């Protein structure tokens, strides 16, 4: 089906004129393809219920329905239009939440789960105001596509540069911890503040920790080096509502991720939090008390669903 319509290039440009007609362009000026908003809305709804559905097969189906030969650049154009649609959708939602007074600092995080947050007047205090769990998952990996450049790096190793365009998208959400926030909890960053100077005085008397081969950093440094993103680190409440999450970027599951999560939760909910993190016996010298027989295995249940996103990432 071909839609013929008149588009008047106004002072805002062709892109704004197309959006007023219900179409999302694939370029800011002189676009060769525009997608109907209803089509993008259908893809957005379908993808929410079927994570396996990716843009490439969907764009092939559209080309087949319109009787056009599919070209690889169709998927790229459709992806650009879909990203623009998501940005417009997000901006509209932000304006709605701002009008409702829900744009305060960490408002969504503080209201993520009514069962955990809401307290009755005169209700007796519990040992923990809130129970949370956190864990990492490496199913949602993304390869680091790179080229070798002239010159040698450290130890005569070749230098690499990424072949992919820099993703400048910024997620405006209380749920997401960006790279800058997480990297504040690198070992070097903490030592620069002088807070962790006494940690070296802690004697590790746990023989199991020294024999646990999975914690040897040299064993997996090269393996994780081939990934740009090695997965996500997630925190849920005991009712399995998402609290915060972060991308694990060019690294394995390191201590900076749970530290960033804990700091964000303490800032939002205070100190009355009981948390679970499956770190085996490596940190037994600093974390030795448990919260009893609580399950707090919500992350594994969440990852069993989110793993379906792997084919489309």
DSSP 130-183: EEEEEEEE-SS-EE--EEEEEEE-GGGPEEEEE-SPP-------SSEE-HHHHH
Contact 133, 235 (CB under 8 A): yes
Query: What's the pLDDT at 202?
Result: 47
Q: How large is the angle between the packed helices 72-99 and 37-49, nearest 10 degrees?
A: 80
Q: Using CA of residue 160, residue 165, residue 166, residue 169, what is the dihedral sign?
A: negative
Cα distance between residue 33 and residue 31, in whole Å: 6
For residue 20, which of 2, 34, 41 has the smallest C-alpha distance? 34
Q: Which letter, b or e, does each residue of 52-76 get, where b requires 16 or more Cβ atoms within 10 Å of its Cβ?
A: ebebbebbeebbeeeeeeeeeebbe
Task: Give CA–CA dist 190/185, Å, rounded.
Answer: 6
Residue 105: CA count within 13 A, CB half-sphere: 5
Residue 81 has φ and ψ, to the nearest 5°, of -65, -40
Contact by Cβ (8 Å): 235, 243: yes
Domain ranges of the chain: 14-99, 114-143+171-312
| Interstrand relation of 176-177 and 242-249 (parallel, antiparallel or unpaired) | parallel
Q: Which helix (H) or strand (E) holds 245?
A: strand 242-249
**Mean pLDDT (10-residue bins), the chain, 313 residues:** 57 79 86 90 88 86 89 90 91 90 83 86 85 86 67 55 66 82 77 50 53 52 66 89 87 84 90 79 56 73 79 65
The pTM assigned to this predicted structure is: 0.71
Longest dimension (CA), the chain: 77
């Amino acid at each position: 089906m071909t839609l013929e319509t008149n588009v008047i290039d106004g002072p805002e440009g062709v892109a704004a004129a197309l959006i007023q007609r219900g179409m999302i362009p694939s370029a800011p000026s002189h676009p060769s393809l525009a997608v109907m908003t209803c089509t993008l809305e259908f893809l957005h709804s379908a993808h929410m219920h079927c994570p396996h559905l990716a843009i490439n097969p969907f764009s092939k189906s559209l080309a087949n329905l319109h009787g056009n030969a599919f070209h690889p650049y169709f998927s790229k154009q459709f992806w650009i239009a879909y990203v623009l649609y998501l940005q417009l959708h997000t901006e509209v939602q932000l304006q709605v939440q701002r009008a409702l007074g829900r744009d305060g600092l960490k408002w969504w995080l503080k209201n993520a789960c009514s069962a955990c947050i809401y307290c009755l007047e005169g209700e007796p205090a519990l040992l923990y105001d809130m129970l949370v769990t956190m864990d990492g998952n490496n199913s949602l990996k993304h390869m680091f596509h790179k080229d070798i450049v002239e010159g040698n790096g450290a130890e005569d190793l070749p230098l690499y540069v990424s072949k992919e365009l820099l993703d400048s998208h910024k997620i405006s959400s209380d749920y997401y911890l960006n790279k800058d926030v997480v990297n504040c909890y690198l070992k070097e960053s903490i030592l620069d503040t002088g807070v962790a100077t006494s940690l070296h005085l802690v004697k590790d008397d746990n023989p199991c920790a020294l024999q646990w081969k999975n914690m040897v950093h040299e064993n997996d440094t090269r393996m994780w080096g081939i990934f740009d993103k090695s997965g996500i680190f997630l925190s849920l409440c005991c009712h399995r509502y998402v609290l915060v999450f972060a991308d694990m970027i060019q690294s394995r599951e390191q201590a900076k991720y749970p530290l960033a999560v804990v700091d964000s939760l303490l800032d939002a909910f205070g100190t009355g939090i009981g948390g679970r993190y499956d770190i085996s016996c490596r940190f037994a010298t600093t974390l030795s008390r448990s919260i009893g027989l609580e399950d707090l295995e919500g992350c594994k249940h969440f990852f069993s669903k989110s793993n379906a996103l792997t084919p489309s990432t």
